[in-house]
Amino acid sequence: MALLSVFLGILRKSSFVDVSGDLFMFIAPLWIAVIVGVLVGWAWKPKWANFGRDMIDGNGMATNDTSDAPSPSLPTFLASIPSLNSFKFQLPSCIPWLPNSGIQKESALAEGSSSQVENDKSSLLTERDLEHLSKLVEEKDGGPAWIQMMDRSTPNMTYQAWRRDPETGPPQYRSRTVYEDATPDMVRDFFWDDDFRMKWDDMLIHATILEDCSATGTMVVHWVRKFPFFCSDREYVIGRRIWEAGQSYYCVTKGVPCSSVPRRNKPKRVDLYYSSWCIRPAESKKDGKMTACEVLLFHHEDMGIPWEIAKLGVRQGMWGAVKKIDPGLRAYQKERASGAPLSRCACISQITTKVTEDYLKYLENTTENLLEIENQDSSDKPNGRNIPKLLVVGGAIALACTLDRGLLTKAVIFGVARRFAKIGRGL
């Protein structure tokens, strides 16, 4: 109150010069006290106050470039300061955010278990993946109904395609292709052979095997695929494994974590990736004999572009891409018939996990819904108020019809509206 009375007394003076001089004399001691306090505190600061000491080397330069790396959380950052670990025991234990040895032990155990999982290659793809694919094949996965989008054929191939839009995640595609005069064994090796794929798949510009398991045939491969000129290339780390049931092969491929391939800005990593086949004998449309091969493919991925734009691109380019597969398969048949040595991928494709058809029927009849097996954390999103989806989509339709800027503009508007409606459900 005394300081307030003095301050008000200064303001009552009529002369501007007097007020300015008195204000300076009033504020100057406060600033001097602050400066002295900072200097004294800095001179007597404890060792644990040097937060940046462990992050700077002897030349005064940062030891690691953290421009692209996410900033650590407060407990993790404080735990990295050795001198603070000895100081923290002098503080009361009721401060919850200070790191302790228990947290450090749990972190070490988590890192150890993570590395153990990555080393055990067979654990990347398990019977749960087989169950999921088997349910997809028999249309018992509990997902939305499939909408047919294509039915084409050539003299040596018949192709049908469907699409569905789940509530969460990117659009999903299902296709059925029947290749004349082809065996399931040959088609299996053909799709697994990355070395030969480079010859017919012009989108694949890099493929290498990172890990493989001689017992189960599980593989981890690194792909880089070329995208159209308006998109950067995409990078994939894919786990692959084959189960064999009679004359049918269940081939699972999906994105998996791998610490040996660091993330980069380019090419962009695609984490959510699922592309799996069921390959089995089929009747030939020529004579009705079991000389053809049926391939049921289930595919979806999040490429990092609006899903409506992705659906438009898939619809426009699907048949052109599919037509390239059949000539590639015929060339592969000729190369194998000539006695050419098998590639490493083709050799590993012949290492399968055998199961009985009764076991597959048991998996198909289980009640557990594994639709989100490759994206299990999607159910952790909080539920909240729903923004009326009809209002959002209706407004987008009206805007799209008003703006005469072509199909691409409309697809963008629809994609934004759909994303906004989904965000609204999570608010």
Per-residue pLDDT of the chain (427 residues; tens, 9 = 90+): 555 565 566 566 556 666 566 666 767 777 787 777 766 665 565 554 544 444 334 333 333 443 343 443 433 433 443 433 433 334 333 333 333 444 343 444 444 444 443 445 557 899 999 999 999 999 988 899 999 999 999 999 999 999 999 988 999 999 999 999 999 999 999 999 999 999 999 899 999 999 999 999 999 999 999 887 567 899 999 999 999 999 999 999 999 998 889 998 889 999 999 999 999 999 998 888 999 999 999 999 998 888 888 888 888 889 988 999 999 999 999 999 999 999 999 999 999 999 998 998 888 887 554 444 444 443 443 333 333 444 444 444 444 444 444 444 445 444 544 554 454 444 4
| Amino acid letter, 309 | I
What pLDDT, on a 0 to 100 scale, did the predictor assign at position 387?
38
Model pTM above 0.75 = no
Neighbours of 179 (CB within 10 A): 26
In the prediction, which pLDDT does 173 show? 96
3-state secondary structure of 399: helix
Residue 408's pLDDT is 45
Omega prior to 96 cis, within 30 of 0: no
Instruction: Report the distance separating Cα 320 and Cα 339, nearest Å.
Output: 31
Displacement of CA 253 from its chain's centroid (Å): 14
Residue 407 pLDDT: 44
pLDDT at position 363 is 85
Q: What is the pLDDT of residue 165?
A: 94
DSSP one-letter code for 56: B
Q: How far apart are CA 48 and CA 98, in angstroms?
A: 13
**Amino acid making up residue 151:** D
Contacts of 28 (CB under 8 A, 6+ apart): none
From the CB of residue 231, how many other CB atoms can be counted at a distance below 10 Å? 14
Give the C-alpha separation, 406 to 400, whole Å. 9
Domain range summary for the chain, segments of one domain joined by +: 2-45, 53-119, 128-379, 389-426
State the pLDDT at residue 403. Answer: 41
In sequence order, what DSSP letters do the residues of 175-208 get, joined into one string? EEEEETT--HHHHHHHHH-HHHHHHH-TTEEEEE
- Block residue for tokens 């989100």: 372
- 395 neighbors 417 (Cβ within 8 angstroms): yes
- Determine the residue type at 359: Y
SS3 44: coil
Cα–Cα distance, 378 to 272 (Å, whole number): 12
CATH code linked to domain 128-379: 3.30.530.20
